[in-house]
Amino acid sequence: MSRRYSSRDKEKWVSDPSRPPKRSPIVLPETNCSRLIEEHRYTLIGRVTNPATQNTRALVDFFLQQWQVVGSFTGRSLGPLLFQFTFESEQDLQAIMAKAPYHFKKWMFILQRWEPIVSDLFPATIPFWVTIHGIPLHYWTDDSLRAIGKALGPVETTDEVKERIRVIVNGLKPLERFLEISLKSGETKKVELEYEKLEKHCFSCLSLSHEAGNFPNKTASEDSPSPRLGITQLRTLDRIAESRKRADNRKLSRFSPYERSHGEPTNDSRRDHPRGQPQQRHDY
């Protein structure tokens, strides 16, 4: 007896005429890329961590004016997420990377030396000086610092005096705040990590891409309690407050002592800005 199929089963065999056929990948021709690889050997590729706040074109324009190097360098936006800077020499490239990490609009951005790879996850790394709090005094050694640093990423150098390491971390993943170390006695101890020059980030999960309360998965954080601030978060708040204070002082410096104390323009200011013509505002 032949099987009888339902109308629903039969519909599975009929292709959707409104859906266009899938296009096959375009095969690129064999070519010699050595010239382009050589051309970009002094190039840094960057990625913003918060594209809603950080505009790549504005970022490039700002740092073209901000960075000081021996030779000339160029920069351009590569879309809403990526950008690049190209230098004339290895010396200039290394001079910029030595001062990393960087931030723009109070959010960190990733800056990594260009490599001829095609991964969508490139660039991803940020170098941080990380101070380690809680190491017993007799464990302040280069070997101990490097052992802790390797848990975070490749270690560039160490500073035994200040208990810190220069380490390359993955900026696309949340940072780690605590690590457990095992001592020779068999005891374990928790140490806290302080990321120097770290600006805005999520105080709950330590992601660089959003603030607390703005999780990509909102339901995962709605009922979570407010986190206890650690050393890194307190340092970040201090830097943001100090930055706002400097900005306020710059604005106040443009006014006379009378205007600063009374909150209103002087007669001279009124003459310079007649009624109906508002004063221009400059926000830095």
Which residues in 100-117 are b (16+ Cβ under 10 Å) and which e? bbbbbebbbbbbbebeee
For the record, the structure tokens of 91 come out as 């010396």
Amino acid, single-letter form, for residue 1: M
Looking at the fold, whether 66 and 97 belong to one and the same domain comes out as yes
- Specify if 144 maps to a domain: yes
- Specify if 259 maps to a domain: no
- Specify if 139 maps to a domain: yes
- Specify if 156 maps to a domain: yes
Looking at the fold, whether 232 and 129 belong to one and the same domain comes out as yes
- Specify if 119 maps to a domain: no
Q: For the chain, give me the number of helices (H) and strands (E)?
A: 8, 10
Q: What are the CA-CA distances from residue 195 to residues 65, 111, 199 (Å)?
A: 27, 17, 9
For the record, the structure tokens of 193 come out as 């990590």
pLDDT at 150: 96
Distance separating alpha carbons of residues 264 and 19, to the nearest angstrom: 65
- Specify if 279 maps to a domain: no
| pLDDT tens sequence for the chain (284 residues) | 556 666 555 555 555 667 788 889 899 888 888 888 899 999 999 999 999 999 999 999 999 999 999 999 999 999 999 999 999 999 999 999 999 999 999 999 999 999 998 899 999 999 999 999 999 998 989 999 999 999 999 999 999 999 899 999 999 999 999 999 999 888 999 999 999 999 999 988 999 998 876 666 554 444 455 567 777 787 777 777 777 777 767 766 666 565 555 555 555 444 444 434 444 433 33
Instruction: Please enumerate in sequence order all residues whose Cβ is within 8 A of that of 17, keeping only pairs 6 or more positions apart, or say none.
Output: none
- Specify if 63 maps to a domain: yes
Residues 245, 237 contacting (CB under 8 angstroms): no
CATH of the domain at 46: 3.30.70
Structural domain harbouring 136? 125-216+227-236
Looking at the fold, whether 129 and 231 belong to one and the same domain comes out as yes
Looking at the fold, whether 154 and 94 belong to one and the same domain comes out as no
Per the structure, the count of domains in the chain is: 2
Looking at the fold, whether 92 and 171 belong to one and the same domain comes out as no
Looking at the fold, whether 43 and 105 belong to one and the same domain comes out as yes
pLDDT at 217: 57
pLDDT at 14: 57
Looking at the fold, whether 145 and 231 belong to one and the same domain comes out as yes
Full-model pTM: 0.73
Q: What are the CA-CA distances from residue 7 to residues 1, 10, 16, 17 (Å)?
A: 19, 5, 15, 18
- Specify if 170 maps to a domain: yes
Q: What are the CA-CA distances from residue 241 to residues 32, 99, 159, 197, 249 (Å)?
A: 52, 22, 28, 14, 12
Looking at the fold, whether 142 and 66 belong to one and the same domain comes out as no
